[in-house]
Amino acid sequence: MIAELGHFALILAFMVSIAQAIVPMVGAQKGWAGWMGVGVPAAMAQFALAAAAFAALTYSFVVSDFSVALVANNSHSLKPMLYKVTGTWGNHEGSMLLWVLILALFGAVVAAFGANLPDRLKARVLSVQAAVGAAFFAFLLFTSNPFLRLSFPPLDGSGLNPLLQDPGLAFHPPFLYLGYVGLSTSFAFAVAALIEGRVDAAWARWVRPWTLAAWMFLTIGIALGSWWAYYELGWGGWWFWYPVENASFMPWLIATALLHSAIVVEKREALKTWTVLLAIMAFSFSLIGTFIVRSGVITSVHAFANDPERGVFILAILAVTIGGSLTLFAARAGSLTSKGVFSLVSRESALMLNNVLLVVATFVVFIGTVWPLISEMTFGRKLSVGAPFFDMAFTPFMVVLAMVLPLGAVMPWKRADLGRSMRPLWGVLAASVTFGALVLVVQTGTRMMAPIGLALAAWLILGALADLGARVRLGKVGFAETLRRLGNLPRAELGKFLAHAGLGVTIFGIAAITAWETEDIRVAKPGDSFIISGPATEYQIRFDDVRSVQGPNYQATQGVFTVLVDGDEIATLRPEKRVYPVSRMPTTEAAMDIGFWRDVYLVIGDPQEQGGFAVRAYVKPFANWIWAGAIIMALGGLASLSDRRYRVAAGARRRGAAVAAE
Amino acid sequence: MKRLLLILILLASPALAVQPDEILADPVLEERARDISKGLRCLVCRNENIDDSNAGLARDLRLLVRERLVAGDSDDQVTAFVVARYGEYVLLQPKATGSNLVLWAAGPVMLVLAGWTAIAFLRRRRNVEAALSPDEEKRLGELLGE
């Protein structure tokens, strides 16, 4: 019964989205206020219905209703409650339902908080959003219905992939989808602006918060996924350039570019057409990502060819959305006139360079991701494109970006003087280069990864600090005055500082772990003791015991290890090797002593014929900095999102409404 | 019984990445083996290299790489040997030959195009700045005429 109600709600949501796509758009073209007004309640209703459908599916998972095919295939009565709930989106149909739920959520939020938008623009935005929604509701209902019943329900479900039974992975899709789908709002604003033929500072001010929010969620989602891989896959890798990872990374890169170019539109009324194009591209890459993940086309062309229904459907959505919006762009872009002029050396140009680098880097990731497919289909050449290619082809763009970032960030708008902009940065540059040189001297070996990476990271972090220091006139005025200035600093400036410094922290972590990780693989028996050296410290690992552990739905071999430094015990680690009898799948649960400077990472492997176990130990210097940097970047987004100018715009609207009511 | 089941499952489960018994006694050779392994794809996995992979096939390949190294092959010879056996598909970094040139050139070409477009845009921009609108010219004429 509940599942049928959910199914019914989903069909209604589909109907509402069709109405919402058509009525407000017609109203906006004809200038009929009544028709335009349909958008807001329709968006609310669409969200309520999608939420009801999602709640119904979640309920079916919670009560383990195995007469629903999806639940029977993906859940099990023994599963912990948390994973029953998260299991709702741990499968194709459920995750697509979450996708449309979030899409409807963003539409409803635009409707609820969009009272300061001009009616016509709002009607068009909601209509475009609903059109995308309608396409995905149709996709769900016609190819991926989550509510199908089984005529003969099984006694118990066939379980969930044990790899997915983990908090990191369970909560990673919602964040990722909030990011992916949040970009649909920027897209809707771009298409609406093209229809209106008008892009101005106000438009940029409306678009930027949505992009910021989406970007923040994407940042967190990507970091969560990477962190999950780090501790779950058993050797502490954190980025693999898998197609599914690239699928989330490409929209992130473009969203980063969009964030920056939207500032130019807002402050300087320049780069308008380019910004609109970026907004279209950002969501297009979200759709491409969805297609890559959901159709399975990249992992196996044959799997796609055997069951093409879903893939072809998404491909059709992709073609219509991207093709349609680009056609509209080609037709209308000419009508967007930019006002602001700027010279070759200016913050505008620096942001253009940022955009060029990010977009070209995205393109490299894109072509690397789809090349195996293209190569096989057009040249009959079956090949792989993996991490070595991406490391070599992608990294240079990020290096150049990091090199110019601190300078670009301090340049004034309109016309800058290189010498004057560099003045506060010379000290930072000298410090960073010295730091890099120091690293080169201290490290053993001649690989340049660590010196260059760490120097760049220092340049970014210190550069961001120098910029902040100059803004609060640190050292130039009294300390109290500096504090006062810091308190009055616009939140957007704080956001900029955090985001840029966070990038530096991430680069620091990546360079350090890549260059200095140490590893020890050996056979060890309980009672054995061995030493693994990190960059600065020697760690003694003592294998104390091995035991069997019974989990709620798995059995595990657990090793008990003590980590000692200079004879002092610093941690007890319990790595496990688990077996989930239902799916017969083994997983490794690494144990870590997480620290600010390094992680000590232990994995227990299989029992060996000659006795003992395969044990793998790693010291991973600065590992946490990778994700800490991402969190700092996301906090920067949050700070920027809370900037006064967005709140003031909302307040002005409220005051305006109060006046009108009098 | 449960214990027995556990042991059976454990024995049947795939090995985890590089195993202690695979490691070569000579650390220099082992280091080379690791480097080569990072560029070879585990054929049955998702874009995973054989060094990280848990699959049995990856283990066979790791052993093969070490065998060739011990036999005295250079790094390139080892890679060529594996490619001859398993095809180009096994390379994680595609060779920059033939149609793959498109892949390798894509980034630089795109960068040049984008940079060129950006500079052309900035140039045009400056001309716009330099030119006066008819209104401004009229006003300038008036001012000069005075």
User: Does A432 fall in a domain?
Assistant: no
Give the pLDDT of residue A443: 75
Give the pLDDT of residue A31: 86
Q: Nearest residue on chain A to B2, judged by CA atoms? A: A555
User: Does A647 fall in a domain?
Assistant: no
Contacts with A509 (C-beta within 8 Å, 6 or more apart), sequence order? A622, A623, A624, A625, A626, A627, A628, A629
Give the pLDDT of residue A653: 47
Q: Cα–Cα distance between A93 and A511 in angstroms, integer?
A: 39
Whether residues B10 and B54 share a domain: the answer is yes
Structure ipTM:
0.81
Instruction: Give the other-Cβ count within 10 Å of A195's Cβ.
Output: 18
Whether residues A30 and A144 share a domain: the answer is yes
Whether residues A352 and A263 share a domain: the answer is yes
User: Does B95 fall in a domain?
Assistant: no
CATH number at residue B42: 1.10.8.640
3-class secondary structure per residue, A112-148:
HHHHHCCHHHHHHHHHHHHHHHHHHHHHHHHHCCCCC
| Candidates A360, A390, A391, A558, partner chain B, best to mutate (most B CBs within 10 A) | A360
**Among A299-308, B87-96, B130-139, which stretch is predicted with the lowest mean pLDDT?**
A299-308
Give the pLDDT of residue A17: 95
Instruction: Give the other-Cβ count within 10 Å of B5's Cβ.
Output: 12
Contacts of A387 in chain B (CB under 8 A): 38, 47, 49, 92
Residue-level length of chain A: 662
Q: Cα–Cα distance between A592 and A600 in angstroms, integer?
A: 5
Give the pLDDT of residue A348: 86
User: Does B110 fall in a domain?
Assistant: yes
| Radius of gyration, alpha carbons of chain A | 27
* Enclosing domain of residue B64: 2-90
The answer, for B1 touching chain A at a CB cutoff of 8 Å, is: no
Q: B114 and A581: CB-CB below 8 Å?
A: no
For residue A360, give the 3-state DSSP assignment.
helix
Residue type, A469: G
The answer, for B88 touching chain A at a CB cutoff of 8 Å, is: yes
Whether residues B84 and B118 share a domain: the answer is no
Q: Nearest residue on chain B to A364, judged by CA atoms? A: B107
Whether residues A51 and A129 share a domain: the answer is yes
Contacts with A560 (C-beta within 8 Å, 6 or more apart), sequence order? A543, A544, A545, A546, A547, A572, A573, A574
Whether residues A349 and A398 share a domain: the answer is yes
Whether residues A138 and A217 share a domain: the answer is no
Whether residues A186 and A284 share a domain: the answer is yes
For residues A496 and A518, is the Cβ–Cβ distance under 8 A? no
Whether residues B11 and B77 share a domain: the answer is yes
Whether residues B71 and B115 share a domain: the answer is no
Whether residues A186 and A73 share a domain: the answer is no
* Enclosing domain of residue A64: 1-160
Of the candidates A568, A662, A638, A648, the one whose C-alpha atom is nearest the C-alpha of residue A217 is: A638
User: Does B105 fall in a domain?
Assistant: yes
Whether residues A139 and A189 share a domain: the answer is no
Of the candidates A20, A15, A19, A49, the one whose C-alpha atom is nearest the C-alpha of residue A123 is: A20
Whether residues A210 and A350 share a domain: the answer is yes
Whether residues A194 and A147 share a domain: the answer is no
Mean pLDDT of B56-84: 90
Whether residues B36 and B76 share a domain: the answer is yes
Contacts of A586 in chain B (CB under 8 A): 9-10, 13-14
Domain boundary among B71, B90, B109: B90
Domain boundary among A416, A444, A461: A416
Give the pLDDT of residue A323: 92
Q: Are strands A598-607 and A585-589 parallel, antiparallel or unpaired?
A: unpaired
Whether residues B50 and B108 share a domain: the answer is no
The minimum CA-CA distance between A282 and chain B, rounded to whole Å, is 17
A251-271 confidence digits (pLDDT tens): 999 999 999 999 888 888 888
pTM of the predicted protein model: 0.90
Percent of chain B with pLDDT over 70: 79
Give the pLDDT of residue A300: 56
Tell me how many domains chain B contains: 2
Sheet architecture: strand order including A598-607: A518-524, A613-621, A598-607, A591-594
Q: Which of B15, B20, B94 sits opposite A383 (nearest CB)?
A: B94
User: Does A477 fall in a domain?
Assistant: no
Instruction: Give the other-Cβ count within 10 Å of B72's Cβ.
Output: 7
Give the pLDDT of residue A657: 43
Whether residues B10 and B77 share a domain: the answer is yes
Domain boundary among B45, B64, B90: B90
Give the pLDDT of residue A178: 92
Give the pLDDT of residue A499: 95
**More confident position, B47 or A40:** A40
User: Does A345 fall in a domain?
Assistant: yes
Tell me how many domains chain A contains: 3
For residue B9, pLDDT beyond 80: no
Whether residues B117 and B76 share a domain: the answer is no
Regions of chain A with pLDDT less than 50: 650-662
Q: Cα–Cα distance between A459 and A473 in angstroms, integer?
A: 20
User: Does B86 fall in a domain?
Assistant: yes
Confidence of residue B8 (pLDDT cuts 50, 70, 90): very low
